[in-house]
Amino acid sequence: MRITIGLFLLTALYTYGYEPVQPVPKVVEYDRDKAELGKLLFHDPILAKDNRTSCYYCHDLYQKCGTDHRPVSKGFHDREGKVNAPTVYNVRFNFRFFWDGRAKTLKEQILGPIQSPDEMNMSLKEVEDRLNQHPVYREKFKEIYGVDRITFELVADAIIEFEKALITPNSKFDKYLRGEAQLTEDELEGYRLFKKLGCISCHNGINLGGNSFQKIGVIKPYPWHPSYPDRYRITGNEYDKNVYRVPTLRNIDCTYPYFHDGSVKTLEEAVQLMAYYNLGFRLPQDELDKIIAFLKTLRGELPEILKSEGLQ
């Protein structure tokens, strides 16, 4: 009873007063030189055994908002080739990484996949050897980190610094939150519905997600499969079946397809499934349209680091 009243009050608060979503800051802190080096590494297949697959291959920063637009990526972080690549944009605002949240820091995130035989299939030593044989990288690491020998530790450090720079500020919605722009009636109504119906209870904060573990199937049971990359695989607790780190909704109109297995093609369908499984009803078409109109205002600008020439 108390919980119900608590939830009711929280929803009322979110609906009528306090803003549960914060804008992406216009400027964030990171080391520019290290990030420029990380940017080179991010785009360079030198890090992968097959010399083909750079980070960019699955996290396209220009055309695909940091994803690959494939339902599932194969042979990388994904242990069984059944996982959709989440965006690398705005990752610095997530509290854990991967669908199951198994990495607590970006460092843990990057260390695992590069070494794993099922993934990038590179030993840390191979990465180091390759880069140390590369005169341009040797020179750049010397310049920026003051070292004669490149270590994996520094490679990870540079890539993480680049990831920290990958924010998408100044979306229409952020400008609205800062009082710099108006939303249309439909967009505004969509945001009100998003709060009133309860989407906001899981999709809030800077990333409208990325800050908690939640279930798909809170109201109506969602089918479960043992290969799903959910919290259950980490904890073994029954109640963690179909529990994921909530995905971000920033740039959501361009990070399709949706859900952990990439099984959902359109944003309309994703929102309808959310309403059905997590809120217990189907949305009338006009409400669906308004929520989509609101979600489309979450498209941000390219980060500063991708606008510049940078290191060549």
Tell whether residue 198 is a contact of ligand HEC (CB under 6 A).
yes
Q: What angle do CA 32, 62, 181 make, to 5 degrees?
A: 85
Query: What type of residue sits at position 216?
Result: I
Binding mask 94-123 for ligand HEC (x = CB under 6 A): x--xxx---------xx-------------
Q: How far is the C-alpha of 312 from the C-alpha of 309, rounded, in Å? A: 7
We find the least distance from the C-beta atom of residue 231 to ligand HEC, in angstroms, to be 10
Which one of residues 24, 35, 270, 293 is an interface residue with ligand HEC (CB under 6 A)? 270
What is the size of the binding site for ligand HEC (CB under 6 A)? 53
We find the least distance from the C-beta atom of residue 119 to ligand HEC, in angstroms, to be 8
Rounded to the nearest 10°, the torsion over CA 52, 54, 56, 57 is 40
Rounded to the nearest 10°, the torsion over CA 172, 94, 253, 261 is -170
Nearer to ligand HEC, 137 or 244 (CB): 244
We find the least distance from the C-beta atom of residue 179 to ligand HEC, in angstroms, to be 25
We find the least distance from the C-beta atom of residue 91 to ligand HEC, in angstroms, to be 5
Question: Contact at 8 Å (CB) between 99 and 261?
Answer: no
The interface with ligand HEC within residues 26-65 (CB under 6 A) comprises: 42, 47, 53, 55, 57-59
The interface with ligand HEC within residues 205-264 (CB under 6 A) comprises: 214-216, 218, 229, 244, 246-247, 249, 252, 255, 258-260
Nearer to ligand HEC, 179 or 236 (CB): 236
CB under 8 Å to 174, separation ≥6 — which residues?
A: 23, 24, 300
Tell whether residue 274 is a contact of ligand HEC (CB under 6 A).
yes
Nearer to ligand HEC, 12 or 180 (CB): 12
Q: How far is the C-alpha of 209 from the C-alpha of 202, rounded, in Å? A: 6
Q: How far is the C-alpha of 303 from the C-alpha of 127, rounded, in Å? A: 28
We find the least distance from the C-beta atom of residue 177 to ligand HEC, in angstroms, to be 18
We find the least distance from the C-beta atom of residue 192 to ligand HEC, in angstroms, to be 12
Tokens (6 digits) for 269: 């369908």
We find the least distance from the C-beta atom of residue 27 to ligand HEC, in angstroms, to be 21
Q: Say how many CA atoms lie within 13 Å of 169 toward its Cβ.
A: 13
Nearest alpha-carbon partner for 167 in 93, 102, 106: 93
Nearest alpha-carbon partner for 24 in 234, 174, 136: 174
Question: Contact at 8 Å (CB) between 66 and 60?
Answer: yes
Q: In the complex, which residues of this chain contact ligand HEC (CB under 6 A)?
A: 42, 47, 53, 55, 57-59, 73, 75-78, 83, 85-86, 88, 91, 94, 97-99, 109-110, 159, 163, 197-199, 201-203, 214-216, 218, 229, 244, 246-247, 249, 252, 255, 258-260, 267, 270-271, 274-275, 278-279, 291
